[in-house]
Structure formats: structure tokens, C-alpha cells
Amino acid sequence: MPLSEDDENVKNRRIRILYEIFILIFVIYTGRLFALQVLQGNIYRSRSDIITRKSLTLPAQRGEIYTREYSTPVVGNMNSFSVFISPMELKGDELSEIINKLSALLEIPKKQIEKKIPAQTTHQFQPVEVASNVSYNKIAMLAEHSDALNTVSWQSKPIRDYSNTGGLSHVVGYIGNITQDEFITFYNLGYDQNDIIGKTGIERQYDSVLRGQKGSEVQVINALGQSITENIIRQSPEPGKNLVLTIDRDIQLLTEKALGKRIGAVVVLRPQTGEILAMASYPWYNPSVFLDNETNSEYQKILNDSQKPLINRAIQSSYPPGSTFKIIMTTGILGENAISPEKTIKCPGEIAYGDRTWRCHIGKPGHGYMNLRRALAQSCDIYYWVAGRDYLGINNISAYAKDYGLGALTGIDIPGETAGFIPTPDWKERNFHENWLGGDSMNASIGQGWIMTTPIQMANVVAMTVNDGIIYQPHLLKEIRDPLTNNVLETAENKVLHKSEIDKNIFERVRSDMRAVISEGTAQYPLNTVKATQIAGKTGTSEVGLANRWHSWFAAYAPYNGDPDEQIVVSIIVEAVNRWEWWSPYASSIIFQGIFGHQTYEEAVKTLNFQYLMPAEERPN
């Protein structure tokens, strides 16, 4: 039956609507396609490039660290491997299976690997480093299982060789994996979460110089994650710069042996430049244990060691300076003309003051009548108690101590330095709500009470005396060198840290009195045995509240009145925890004899005839 006119119109209207719908859909899809390909094409092509490019960071070899002779590196590099996983290429439980296999083959905890793969990395083609410091033998095992580990890769990654570091561990420091806090701090300087970074010492201070510039290798991959090898884009890494330290290898070894296995520290400094020729702090540690601290039991032993081997006692431990502080007292007495240097004060061995009896170290009947020169030479406590309390006063004592640099950082170029402390009456009032007493001044006058200082600061005290009031900033960096050409790129500047306004004639008198300590005073025997040079200095013992235990100090320089360019300062402390043997002056004798007599430790000990004083294990053959 033919359709009526009305039915025909309905049919045509439906066809037209359907046709319009098709046209609308076509327009929408055409517009969307145009937007994707033309208007937003660059955006999606960029995303496509990111998705289909697999980037691998190429580590830079870290710069080596040398002593001033620039021969064998103190810290070098040795080859090892890092292992990577590409999480994006894994599906379902495959990642967990790969982690289990790696854990077994590399012999590292599963949790350690999982911790290296944050959740956000599972959607990136960027390989994630899951293990470092992997030996060649273990890499060979991974290669044997490559079929089951198709998303695992590895590459050579140099690590630090600390085998020649010895007692310089506190100076050179160590490296370790960057922490989250460090990453946040140094992100803008180009660090990433897989980096290693200097943690202490020179490694930390000059990390930006040592680390070099990383390279990269970019591979174009297909949808299956397979590399299209002909499209590799490679940027070679640039090695870090080599550092040359001011440390003299022979003097360092001599110093370490002279200190021996005694808890304490030694600083050997050139006063005319501030160069550190040796720095020893015992006990030291092996920095290699920090290369893989998550699995190394030695790492925990160091952390738990009651002797605190991680502390650099040369700059990080503060001690009462004891009678070495009398160098500063002598300068103050002369500078303020507080008492005539020829005026005598009687030392009967003990005096009464306040509610206690104050005993000189010599005991009864005492030193007798002492002038300033004899008081320093014999280290008479009673002379300095009276002079400090009744003539010089605490404000002058504090001012001269601060002028010498005590209570302030020296600015040495390794981190972690301690400032020590110099008390004042205002400080005591604020902290204890008590007035400063005469007894407090007496304690301060012999380097006791609240006064605290470090071996590096005491080295600067002697250096300022030698230099007529000038202190050069102590430093360990001598120069920076190109690792490929060995050319010197930068030489460290000798910076003046402080210049005192004290009259030069006063320093000349103080040096003369320091010489008397050696020629006729408390250090007469151990130091007069040195024939290679003339020494001027000051002994010191500081009380720490232990029975028959004192810190043993010696701060000195040589040659006395010699060529300034040849003069060397030695500052040494042996802590009270050691068996009492007053070792600091003897160790200094060995160091001075070795340096100026051009002798090894063994030769110096025999020249000085010190063998009988030493423990059997330290005696030269």
C-alpha cells in the first residue's frame, strides 16, 4: 500500500534528522581531530617524545684528593656497578617478582630495594637505581639470569677508594647517598635522588667542585619498551676537579705516630699562611664503611663506639686550655701594664681565698718569689691567680682571650667546627643570676672554670704571638687542578682572619718568655732534647674532675727567632681518659725533631732517646 502524504513527510523528516546527526558527528570528530593534530599537536608530540624516550644518567667520576706533594691520591676512585629497574615496563606482580630475584642475587634486603622505588616512578620509563657499589661478580650473576631480569640494567659507577686515607679520615670525610632533606636543599643545584653527596670533611666542603657534571644517554623506544638503538643520544659526563690539600704527607704520618693510640688531637700549622700541614684526631675511622652503610655492621659499630671516632677533636671538641692560657694572660698583663713584669709575687704553694684553699701545682713550699717571666716558665698558678684577680681583672682577661680568637670560629674550610667559650660577668649574671666572684677570675686566669677552647684555636693563639698580632685563617685546600691536564685552575688565598692592635714589642716579650718555658721551665727536659731546632711554647694541664687524670696540652712553635717562612706551630692535646703520662710535650718533641731533623718517627724517637717512655707496641724496632 502506498504511503500517504503525511507518512511520506514523517519518513523524510526522520531521514533528514538522521542525516543532520551524521553531519554533526562528522563535524565534531573533524574539529576534534583538527584540534589534536593542529592546534594541540605540539603538546601531544612533546608528550609522545617523553613517553617514548628512555633516559639514563651517566655518572661523573668524582675528583681525587691529594696531599700537597700531588703524587698518590689520598682519596681516589675504583670501579663498581649500579643496578637499575625500569618499573614502567612491568605489569601486575612482575615488579615484586623482579625485586625478589634481585634481593636474592645481590644479597640485599627486599625492603632496601622497595624503598628505592617510590610509587610515582612506576609510571615512568626512567630507570630507577636500586643498588650501588655492586661487585663485578654479582653483575656477572645478573647477566646469567638476564632472561628473567629483562627490565633490569646496570652500568659502571665509580666509587670512592679510601684505602690510603689512614688518619686523615676526619679531614677528607666521606660520601653517602643523598637524603631527602639534602635533596630538597640542593635540588636547584642539579642534584637528584640517586646522587651521592659529601657528608663531612673536604668531601662535604668542596662537594660542588669534586662531583663533576653528569652525562646522559637517551634511547628512543617503541610501544613495547624496546630500544631503537640507532637513535641513541649521548652526552658524556665531565669528571670532577682534583683537590690538592695543604697537608704534608710525611708530617701527617709523623704526627699520627707521635700521638699514637691516645685519645686526643694534633694540629701542625704554618703561621705565616694558615696552611694546615697535619691534622690528626684519634681515634679515627675507615670512611669506606659509609659506602654501603645500610648493610655494613661496621657502620653501626662506629656509631655506637663510646670513644666517638667520628668526632674531629682538632676542631669539634672543646677543652679547658689549662696553663696554655697563660700565654694570653702574659700578653694581657704586659698590654695593660697591669703589673710590672719585674714585680714579684710570692708562691708559698697554696693560698686561702673565699672558703677554700687554692694549691699551686707544685705544692708546698711553692715556687717562692716569681716575676712574670719565671711565672710563665714555671707555670706558677699562684702568680697568675693573684695577677688575674687583683691586677688584670676578668673584663681584660675576656677581652684579650677574644682578641686571640678564643670563643669564635676560625673558619677552617671543613664543616662542624666548635667555637669554644669565653665567659664574662654579664654572661654569668644572665645564666646563673649570680655576680662574678674573685674565685671565678682566679679560675679563668689559669684556663679553668668555664673557659673552653679547641686545638685549632690554640694553634692560632701561638700563630698570633709569632706573627706580631696577625692570624691567618687556617685552611686545608691548597689548589684545584684539572683532572685531565693537571693544570692548576685555582690556588687558595691566604686570608687574614684577625689583626690585633697590641704593640709588637709585647709579642716579642711573650715569645721570649715562651722560650724560657723550654730553656729553664716546665718543658725543659722533653723539649730541650730536640737538637734540630729551638722551640718556644707552653705546657698545660687542665682538670676535668677525674682522680689522677688531666688533659695534657702543649702549644709551641719553632724555630724560635728563626726564618718566619720556616716556622711551624704545633698544638696538641691528650685527653684525660688516657693513662696519665704527660705525653703532649713528648709528642711535640718527636714532631719538631722529625720535621726539622728531616727524620721519620722512628728516627726521631731514637734521636731523642724516648724509647723507654713508650708502650712496647709504639717503640721503633
Question: What distance in Å separates the CA atoms of residue 519 and residue 561, rounded to the nearest whole number?
Answer: 14
Concatenating the DSSP letter of every residue in 74-127 gives: SBEEE--EEEEE-GGG--TTHHHHHHHHHHHHHT--HHHHHHTS-GGGGG-SS-
Banded pLDDT at 252 (limits 50, 70, 90)? very high
Banded pLDDT at 7 (limits 50, 70, 90)? low
Compare 51 and 292 and report the one with higher pLDDT. 292
Whether the per-residue pLDDT at 242 is higher than 50: the answer is yes
Whether the per-residue pLDDT at 366 is higher than 80: the answer is yes
Distance between the two ends of the chain, CA-based, in angstroms?
130
Task: Dig out the grid coordinates for 381 from the structure.
Answer: 698558678
Whether the per-residue pLDDT at 54 is higher than 80: the answer is no
* CB distance 313 to 288 below 8 Å: no
pLDDT in tens, 477-531: 999 999 999 999 999 999 999 999 999 999 999 999 999 999 999 888 888 889 9
Question: What distance in Å separates the CA atoms of residue 3 and residue 11, rounded to the nearest whole number?
Answer: 10
Task: Dig out the grid coordinates for 32 from the structure.
Answer: 576534534
pLDDT in the model for residue 611: 84
Whether the per-residue pLDDT at 154 is higher than 60: the answer is yes
Short-list 402, 322, 271, CA closest to 576: 322
Banded pLDDT at 615 (limits 50, 70, 90)? confident
Burial track 425-446 (b if 16+ CB lie within 10 A, e otherwise): beebeeeeeeebeebbbbbbbb
Average pLDDT (284-312) is 83
pLDDT in the model for residue 147: 73
Question: Mean pLDDT, the chain, as a whole number?
Answer: 87
Q: Which of 120-129, 265-274, 591-600 is predicted with the least confidence, judged by mean pLDDT?
A: 120-129
Whether the per-residue pLDDT at 41 is higher than 70: the answer is no
pLDDT in the model for residue 50: 45
Whether the per-residue pLDDT at 51 is higher than 70: the answer is no
Strands (E), 290-443: 345-347, 350-353, 356-359, 368-370
Beta bridge partners, 244, equal 66, 479
Average pLDDT (245-253) is 98
Would you say how long the chain is, in residues?
Answer: 621
pLDDT in the model for residue 357: 95
Proportion of the chain in helix, strand, coil states, percent, rounded to 5: 40, 20, 35
Q: Count CB neighbours of 10 within 10 A.
A: 12
Q: Which of 45-49, 282-286, 439-443, 581-585 is predicted with the least confidence, judged by mean pLDDT?
A: 45-49
Whether the per-residue pLDDT at 294 is higher than 60: the answer is no
Average pLDDT (75-94) is 77
Short-list 450, 442, 448, CA closest to 423: 450
Whether the per-residue pLDDT at 321 is higher than 80: the answer is yes
Question: What distance in Å separates the CA atoms of residue 569 and residue 554, rounded to the nearest whole number?
Answer: 11
Whether the per-residue pLDDT at 48 is higher than 70: the answer is no
Cis peptide before 615 (omega within 30 of 0): no
What is the enclosing helix (H) or strand (E) of 569?
Answer: strand 568-574
Short-list 507, 559, 516, CA closest to 538: 516
Question: What distance in Å separates the CA atoms of residue 382 and residue 367, rounded to the nearest whole number?
Answer: 9
What is the enclosing helix (H) or strand (E) of 605?
Answer: helix 601-608
pLDDT in the model for residue 4: 64
pLDDT in the model for residue 352: 95
pLDDT in the model for residue 49: 47
pLDDT in the model for residue 109: 84
Short-list 285, 254, 300, 250, CA closest to 171: 285
pLDDT in tens, 325-358: 999 999 999 999 999 999 999 999 999 999 999 9
Whether the per-residue pLDDT at 536 is higher than 50: the answer is yes
CB within 8 A of 88, min separation 6: which ones? 122, 123, 124, 125, 225
pLDDT in tens, 541-581: 988 777 677 889 999 999 999 899 999 999 999 998 877 78
Short-list 520, 514, 397, 392, CA closest to 451: 397
Concatenating the DSSP letter of every residue in 207-274 gives: HHHHS-B-EEEEEEE-TTS-EEEEEEEEE--BPPPEEEES--HHHHHHHHHHH-SSSEEEEEEETTTT
pLDDT in the model for residue 39: 56
Whether the per-residue pLDDT at 282 is higher than 80: the answer is yes
Return the amino acid letter for 334: L
In the chain, the percentage of residues whose pLDDT exceeds 70 is: 88
pLDDT in tens, 158-213: 788 998 999 999 999 999 888 888 888 888 888 887 788 999 999 999 999 999 88
pLDDT in the model for residue 224: 47
Banded pLDDT at 309 (limits 50, 70, 90)? very high
Place of cell 662535604: 204
Place of cell 718555658: 517
Banded pLDDT at 81 (limits 50, 70, 90)? confident
Sign, CA dihedral 496-499-505-506, equals negative
pTM higher than the cut 0.75: yes
Beta bridge partners, 82, equal 155
